[in-house]
Amino acid sequence: MDEGLEDLQEKMVQILHREPGLRLGDLVQKISRMSGEQTYLVTRALYKLKMDGKVMFKDPDPPSSLYKYIRSYYSLWLWAVMSVILSTIVTIYLLPQYPPFIYSRYVLGSLFVLYLPGYSLIEALYPKREDLEGLERLALSIGLSLALVPLVGLVLNYTPWGIRLEPVFVSLAILTFMLALVAALRKVK
Any idea where the domains of the chain sit in the sequence? 2-51, 66-188
pLDDT, tens only, 15-68: 777 877 777 788 888 888 887 888 888 888 888 888 888 877 777 788 889 899
Beta strands in 139-186 (DSSP E): none
Whether the per-residue pLDDT at 1 is higher than 80: the answer is no
Question: Considering the chain, what is the average pLDDT of its residues?
Answer: 89
Contacts of 106 (CB under 8 A, 6+ apart): none
Phi, psi of 98 (to 5 degrees): -140, 160
What is the pLDDT, as a whole number, of residue 24? 79
Q: Which tops the pLDDT comparison, 50 or 94?
A: 94
- 2: confidence class by pLDDT, cuts 50, 70, 90: low
Cα gap 86→84, rounded to integer Å: 5
Cα gap 160→154, rounded to integer Å: 12
Cα gap 146→142, rounded to integer Å: 6
What's the average model confidence in pLDDT over 102-129? 95
- 4: confidence class by pLDDT, cuts 50, 70, 90: low
